[in-house]
């Protein structure tokens, strides 16, 4: 949710319930000096947790898979009157992946059409070859090819860290895998 309504008290309570004895480490990474900052920390923490968990799943899958895995983070908001409410939500990349913008009455721009051409090319390449990369597309590394990276797609298209920074990635990796920060799965 792009604009969560959460107080410092509620955010810290949720962190304590979710992270238990490591909640203080979480709160150092995602500070809460005001309700507004708690809202931003809520967004940032949820995003980093989800991206790290997906990356760890894909990294674990890669140990026994015969094919490579590719993860991504979609950052483009569908245009329209509800854009500020929903932001870049889960599945909002689908019309771009299928290059089906003409099937909607949203106020798509040339930038949207360019993103759709790019993303649908990645999807078509992946469907045909198992690799999204192709001519004139920014290089999309597979999981494990660039440690701790995922591909950002949409407004920006480039490999990015799976979490906001190394300390945040290490926190979530340790939390999910019950290891010490700095240890790799």
Name the token pair of 48: 């980093």
Is the Cα torsion angle 57, 120, 101, 107 positive or negative in sign? positive
Q: What is the pLDDT of residues 14-47, one digit of tens each?
A: 999 999 999 999 999 999 999 999 999 999 999 9
Supply the pTM of this predicted model. 0.85
Q: Give the residue among 59, 63, 61, 94 at the shortest CA–CA distance from 78.
A: 94
Average pLDDT of the residues in 90-97: 95
Contact 69, 143 (CB under 8 A): yes
Contact 169, 49 (CB under 8 A): no
Q: For residue 161, report the phi and psi dihedrals to the nearest 5 degrees.
A: -65, 145
């Amino acid at each position: 949710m792009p604009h969560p309504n959460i107080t410092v008290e509620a955010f810290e309570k949720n962190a304590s319930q979710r992270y238990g004895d490591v909640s203080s480490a979480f709160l150092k990474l995602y500070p809460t000096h005001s309700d507004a900052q708690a809202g931003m920390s809520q967004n940032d923490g949820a995003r980093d947790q989800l991206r790290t968990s997906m990356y760890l799943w894909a990294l674990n899958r890669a140990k026994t898979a015969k094919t490579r895995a590719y993860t991504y983070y979609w950052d483009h908001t569908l245009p329209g009157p509800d854009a500020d409410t929903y932001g870049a939500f889960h599945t909002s990349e689908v019309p771009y992946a299928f290059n089906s913008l003409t099937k909607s009455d949203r106020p798509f721009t040339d930038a949207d059409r360019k993103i759709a051409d790019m993303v649908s090319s990645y999807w078509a390449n992946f469907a045909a070859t198992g690799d999204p990369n192709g001519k004139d597309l920014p290089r999309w590394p597979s999981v494990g090819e660039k440690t701790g990276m995922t591909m950002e797609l949409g407004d920006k298209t480039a490999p990015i860290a799976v979490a906001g920074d190394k300390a945040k990635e290490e926190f979530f990796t340790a939390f999910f895998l019950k290891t010490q920060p700095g240890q790799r799965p």
